[in-house]
Amino acid sequence: MDSLTHIVLGAAIGELMAGKRLGKKALLIGAVANSLPDIDFLASFWLPTARDVWAHRGITHSLLFVVVITPVLAWLAARIWPRTPMSRKDWWLFFAVELFTHIFIDAFNAYGTGWFEPFSHSRISFHVLFVADPFFSVGLAIAFVALIVLRSTHPARKRWAWFGLAFSSGYLCYAIANKLSIDAHAKADLRGITYTRYLSTPTPLNCWLWYIVAEDSTGFHTGYRSVFDHRPTRFRFQPQGSKLLSPFLGHPDVYYLRRFSQGFYIVEQWGDTTVFNDLRFGEMRGWEDPKARFVFHYFLQYPTGNKIVVQRGRFAGWNWHTCKAMIRRIRGN
pLDDT tens digits, one per residue of 33-54: 999 999 999 988 888 899 999 9
The DSSP secondary structure of 58-75, one letter per residue, reads: SGGGSHHHHHHHHHHHHH
**pLDDT score recorded for residue 281:** 95
Query: Tens digits of per-residue pLDDT, 251-299?
Result: 999 999 999 999 999 999 999 999 999 999 999 999 998 888 999 999 9
Residue 142 has pLDDT above 90, yes or no: yes
Q: Strands, DSSP E only, in the chain?
A: 197-202, 209-215, 219-226, 235-239, 265-270, 273-283, 294-299
Q: Please state, rounded to an integer, the average pLDDT across all residues of the chain.
A: 95
Evaluate whether 130 touches 109 at the Cβ level (below 8 Å). yes
The mean per-residue pLDDT over the stretch 45-73 comes to 95
Query: Tens digits of per-residue pLDDT, 186-234?
Result: 999 999 999 999 999 999 999 999 999 999 999 999 999 999 999 999 9
**pLDDT score recorded for residue 302:** 86
**pLDDT score recorded for residue 44:** 81
Residue 310 has pLDDT above 80, yes or no: no
Rounded Cα–Cα distance for residues 326 and 323 (Å): 5
**pLDDT score recorded for residue 10:** 98
Q: Which residue has the higher pLDDT, 21 or 312?
A: 21
Residue 20 has pLDDT above 90, yes or no: yes
**pLDDT score recorded for residue 185:** 97
CA-to-CA separations, 56 to 5, 47, 123, 179, 209, in angstroms, rounded: 18, 11, 11, 26, 27
**pLDDT score recorded for residue 306:** 86
H helices, E strands: number in the chain: 9, 7
**pLDDT score recorded for residue 282:** 93
**pLDDT score recorded for residue 316:** 82
Q: What share of the chain is helix, strand, coil (3-state, %, to 5)?
A: 50, 15, 35
**What proportion of the chain, given as a percentage, has pLDDT over 70?**
100
Evaluate whether 279 touches 222 at the Cβ level (below 8 Å). yes
Q: Which residue has the higher pLDDT, 22 or 304?
A: 22
- Residues with Cβ < 8 Å from 76, sequence gap 6 or more? none
**What proportion of the chain, given as a percentage, has pLDDT over 90?**
88
pTM of the model: 0.94
Residue 176 has pLDDT above 80, yes or no: yes
Q: Which residue type occupies 159?
A: R
**pLDDT score recorded for residue 46:** 86
**pLDDT score recorded for residue 52:** 93
Lowest mean pLDDT among 43-47, 301-305, 307-311: 307-311
**pLDDT score recorded for residue 45:** 83
> Strand 265-270 to strand 273-283: parallel, antiparallel, or no bridges (unpaired)?
antiparallel
Evaluate whether 61 touches 36 at the Cβ level (below 8 Å). no
Sign of torsion over alpha carbons 102, 176, 223, 134: negative
Rounded Cα–Cα distance for residues 79 and 83 (Å): 9
The DSSP secondary structure of 182-248, one letter per residue, reads: HHHHHHHHTTTS--SEEEEEEPTT-SSEEEEEEE-SSEEEEEEEETT--SPPPEEEEE--GGGGGGG
Evaluate whether 234 touches 245 at the Cβ level (below 8 Å). no
**pLDDT score recorded for residue 236:** 94
**How many CB atoms lie under 10 A from the CB of residue 59?**
14
- Residues with Cβ < 8 Å from 4, sequence gap 6 or more? 137, 141
Phi-psi region of 313 (alpha: psi -120 to 50; beta: other; left: phi over 0): alpha
Provide the pLDDT confidence category of residue 177 given band limits of 50, 70 and 90: very high
Query: Tens digits of per-residue pLDDT, 112-140?
Result: 999 999 999 999 999 999 999 999 999 99
Measured between alpha carbons, how far apart are the two ends of the chain, in Å?
29
**pLDDT score recorded for residue 39:** 96
